[in-house]
Structure 1
Amino acid sequence: MGLLVEPVPSENRLPSKVDVVVVGGGIVGASVALFLARRGVKVALCEKGNIAGEQSSRNWGWVRQGHRDLRELPLMIKSLRLWERMNEDLDSETGFRRAGILFAADSDENVAQNEAWLDKARQHQIDARMVSGSELQRLVPGADKRWKAGLFCATDGRAEPLFATSAVAIAARRSGASVLTNCAVRGLELSAGRVSAIVTEHGRIFCSTVVIAAGAWSRRILKDLNITLPQLKVRGSVMRTSPVEGGPEAALWSTEFALRKRIDGGYSIANGYANVVSIVPDSFRFLVNFLPALRSDLRSLRLRVDDRFIKEWSESRPMPLDEISPYERTRVLDPAPDSAYLRIAFDRLKKAFPVFASATVVQEWAGLM
């Protein structure tokens, strides 16, 4: 059963000319289109499949500052200010709630990692602190497990991936943007070294600026323009449960599981310490680029040799703009979830939180991030 993302119907006609074309209908692309349209920019949003069809609907639904790369923190602080008033601003439910996010530590090593990040993040004056004892237990009602300590960011929140991006895209359309789904961008046309148009499967749109917000596809699109974007993908798996009474309001990460309360009363559950990475040709091309990240997080990576290697190798050659592109052959990246890791996480969750003992698994899915 696929994810039931809130549908966003496509425009019936392709605009002949706009100022900006945004490639990719995820949360980033939809947001770019919205804010440009509100500033009076003529913009078209092109999505090869459906709005939020890939990682924007398949993620955990966390809106966080905690444990961010410090280079991202200033942007995330501003982003949370927007999320705070998003429902009112869009006149639509995004599921956003400021409930906080807790990174729980069950070892001295984990505690030290949390403290080290917090020491560096203090310069940004975010509302984050270390918690322990009774203060920590109040954040995890219903838990039998006792963690040593945790990093808690009270101003972090959660949103619903199944309809947050759709709400943004619909608001962008109301503001004047053209929203085009099932409209793959095959490539760009240049004149005198500058963008002059994009070529879609349905025809050409003249423009002077293009924003690539294509998520896992960005590397492939930019490669045809001789622009190298070092990018590798991680397969993340998630399950959702039936409604649970008495569980935590704050989202929680631990080495055994991660959870987020959903607006329907159920929870999204993931394995907090298992990231599946398929070995692909770019794994070797970008080995040096990603070596520091590999060394720092090697224990959480699960390397796999699977069909992604042949698929990405076969799709790597440049395609003429008058031929069917890889983006049309694969409208949605829909990998199978890693059920074994999810079941391990769910079993550990039920031991830590007896209130989840009667919860049932409603759905599992995965995404390439």
Structure 2
Amino acid sequence: MTPFPISEQTSVRFSDPLPAEADVVVIGGGVIGVCTALFLARAGQSVVLLEKGRIAGEQSSRNWGWIRQQGRDPDELPIMVEANQHWRNLATQTNRDIGLTQGGVTYLADNDAQMARYADWLPVAQAQGVDTRLLTAAETRALLPGTGKSYAGALHTASDMRAEPWVAVPALAEIAARAGAQIREGCAVRCLDLAAGRVAGVVTEAGRIATSEVVLAGGAWSSLFLRNHGIALPQLSVRATVAKTTDLPAVAGGGVADNRIAFRHRADGGYTLAPGGFHELFLGWDALRALPKFLTQLRADPFGTRFLPTAPEGYPDAWGTARRWSGDAPSPFENQRVLNPRPNTAKVRDLKRKFVMLFPQLPHFDISHAWAGMIDTMPDVVPVVDRVSALPGLTLGTGMSGHGFGIGPAMGRILADMVMGNPTGHDLTRFRFNRFTDGTPMRLGPAL
């Protein structure tokens, strides 16, 4: 199995030579970029996928592995329903077991007020034919036998799934390569090459590729890439800590979360643990610029984010990271090939303590690995999926706000059709780029 997490030390798998030209260049080798390249290649487009570090090296291999419909924004949910079907189909086309399992997702409720919030989301699920339902306190106890805590009930979606992200996303890249996509790791795109105000190519550290269409799926790096071209995107990158236990018996079949801890059983026998609703924001110039756009979110959850005064050197919003550069010199993307943030060790210790309290009957276990990832988040907690009118030829798919792994295959299909000028099959008004500047009131996605 691939060493986890994926990092600069992970062996290069994809090293295709750069062509002189392509129909489309995709920037970013996370799940969104990989799936976009996959669907473009299947549509007969000559597509090049370029990743500065490693495929799935950042948040796409560091997430919880949940493939969830439950709790989605109403405008995201139809796309997520489509993604579920893509996952089932793609899992049969890989050369490896990606751990795709239908175990459901369960949100536990401490009290009746939380149950009422969950009940408010049920009509959203019902409108899309999703099998979400409320569980009683007795049904919740039966779902989690041996738990040391009583819950008022739960929200449960049996059709939700999970997979092992550090295996799944490279496996999807292998499918894309077999479909004809050219993929190159360790090759940063420094900037766009513009002619008469529109995209004419990309400038990489290994040379120029002529193209009239570029998809930017750069995750936590998207805002920095755009700023170099004079485009402001109010996107923040927050650190999320995750841990893995040593082998334990299964106490729950799917993904489970309450206000304090989220967990799911893994294909390798341990559990993935994460703090419930907690992230850390490294302050920097872009964070300060974007902060006014995030006030609605911060007021709604004032204690969900811890602010840290400075990011490590080379991070996208570190105080010393360059905001402007040219294509004929190394860029910030070459200085930091893979974002590999240190986990919050206090949170890791706390995760073990909380899991023991929740399941006191479990045998002794240790935390075998801990890691962190940088989540690209937007002020309203839903992504930007749109053409960039200020730079014709550029399409943006970013800000998945921690929701990207599960929804990735459908977002990739949508971005591919958007680039080709085909109908996308979904109403994407909610995800338009200019919603932060056209006076639209901020509407947060459901905090479930």
TM-score by length of 1: 0.95
Task: Name the counterpart of 1:127.
Answer: 131
1:211 Cα offset (Å): 0.3
Question: 8 Å contact 1:142–1:246 — kept in the other structure?
Answer: no
Task: Name the counterpart of 1:46.
Answer: 50
Quote the RMSD (CA, aligned, Å).
1.9
* Deviation >6 Å, runs of 4+: none
Task: Name the counterpart of 1:321.
Answer: 327
Q: Give me the whole-angstrom Cα distance separating, in 2, the residues matched to 1:316 and 1:110.
A: 44
Letter in 2 for 1:202: A
Letter in 2 for 1:333: L
Q: Give me the whole-angstrom Cα distance separating, in 2, the residues matched to 1:214 and 1:278.
A: 18
Question: 8 Å contact 1:278–1:309 — kept in the other structure?
Answer: no
Task: Name the counterpart of 1:19.
Answer: 23
Task: Name the counterpart of 1:223.
Answer: 227
Question: 8 Å contact 2:93–2:175 — kept in the other structure?
Answer: no
Q: Give me the whole-angstrom Cα distance separating, in 1, the residues matched to 2:214 and 2:264.
A: 35
Look up the SS of the partner of 1:259 in the other structure.
strand
Letter in 2 for 1:54: E
Count residues with an aligned counterpart: 369
Moved more, 81-90 or 169-178: 81-90
Task: Name the counterpart of 1:360.
Answer: 366
1:354 Cα offset (Å): 2.4
1:356 Cα offset (Å): 3.4
Q: 1:246 to 1:182 in 2, by over 3 A?
A: closer
Q: Give me the whole-angstrom Cα distance separating, in 1, the residues matched to 2:336 and 2:363.
A: 39
Q: 1:227 to 1:53 in 2, by over 3 A?
A: same
Q: 1:147 to 1:241 in 2, by over 3 A?
A: same
Task: Name the counterpart of 1:278.
Answer: 282
1:113 Cα offset (Å): 2.3
Moved more, 41-50 or 84-93: 84-93
Question: 8 Å contact 2:16–2:183 — kept in the other structure?
Answer: no
Look up the SS of the partner of 1:270 in the other structure.
strand
Q: Give me the whole-angstrom Cα distance separating, in 2, the residues matched to 1:326 and 1:310.
A: 7
Alpha-carbon displacement from aligned partner over 1:76-123 (angstroms, at most 9, x marks no partner): 111011112221033432211111000101123322322222344432
Which structure 2 residue ranges, 5 or more long, are not aligned?
376-448
**1:92 and 2:96 equivalent?**
yes
Task: Please give the residue correspondences for 1:1-369 in structure 2 after superposition, counting only pairs within 5 Å.
Answer: 3-4=5-6, 9-308=13-312, 312=317, 313-369=319-375
Alpha-carbon displacement from aligned partner over 1:239-289 (angstroms, at most 9, x marks no partner): 001121142112101112110111111110011132112222222211221
Look up the SS of the partner of 2:338 in the other structure.
coil
Q: 1:138 to 1:10 in 2, by over 3 A?
A: same
Letter in 2 for 1:356: L
Q: 1:204 to 1:250 in 2, by over 3 A?
A: same
Q: 1:157 to 1:7 in 2, by over 3 A?
A: farther
Q: Give me the whole-angstrom Cα distance separating, in 1, the residues matched to 2:307 and 2:119.
A: 29
Question: 8 Å contact 1:190–1:197 — kept in the other structure?
Answer: yes
Q: 1:244 to 1:214 in 2, by over 3 A?
A: same
Question: 8 Å contact 1:98–1:157 — kept in the other structure?
Answer: yes
Question: 8 Å contact 2:51–2:188 — kept in the other structure?
Answer: yes
Q: Give me the whole-angstrom Cα distance separating, in 2, the residues matched to 1:77 and 1:54.
A: 25
Moved more, 69-78 or 8-17: 8-17
Look up the SS of the partner of 1:299 in the other structure.
coil
TM-score by length of 2: 0.79
Alpha-carbon displacement from aligned partner over 1:171-198 (angstroms, at most 9, x marks no partner): 1111111110000000010112221110
Look up the SS of the partner of 2:192 in the other structure.
strand
Question: 8 Å contact 2:28–2:218 — kept in the other structure?
Answer: yes
Question: 8 Å contact 2:67–2:84 — kept in the other structure?
Answer: yes
Alpha-carbon displacement from aligned partner over 1:113-170 (angstroms, at most 9, x marks no partner): 2222234443223211111223212221332222111111111111101111000111
Alpha-carbon displacement from aligned partner over 1:290-324 (angstroms, at most 9, x marks no partner): 11111112222212213359963322421011111
Moved more, 119-128 or 90-99: 119-128
Q: Give me the whole-angstrom Cα distance separating, in 1, the residues matched to 2:247 and 2:273.
A: 13
Task: Name the counterpart of 2:385.
Answer: none
Letter in 2 for 1:329: N
Letter in 2 for 1:317: R
1:349 Cα offset (Å): 1.1
Q: Give me the whole-angstrom Cα distance separating, in 1, the residues matched to 2:361 and 2:341.
A: 31
Alpha-carbon displacement from aligned partner over 1:46-81 (angstroms, at most 9, x marks no partner): 000011000001111111111122221111111011
Q: Give me the whole-angstrom Cα distance separating, in 2, the residues matched to 1:28 and 1:100.
A: 23
Q: Give me the whole-angstrom Cα distance separating, in 2, the residues matched to 1:141 and 1:46.
A: 47
Letter in 1 for 2:30: G
Look up the SS of the partner of 1:165 in the other structure.
helix
Q: Give me the whole-angstrom Cα distance separating, in 1, the residues matched to 2:351 and 2:260.
A: 6
Question: 8 Å contact 2:125–2:131 — kept in the other structure?
Answer: no
Letter in 2 for 1:278: F
Q: 1:7 to 1:105 in 2, by over 3 A?
A: farther
Which structure 1 residue ranges, 5 or more long, are not aligned?
none
Letter in 2 for 1:45: L
| Identity of matched residues, % | 39
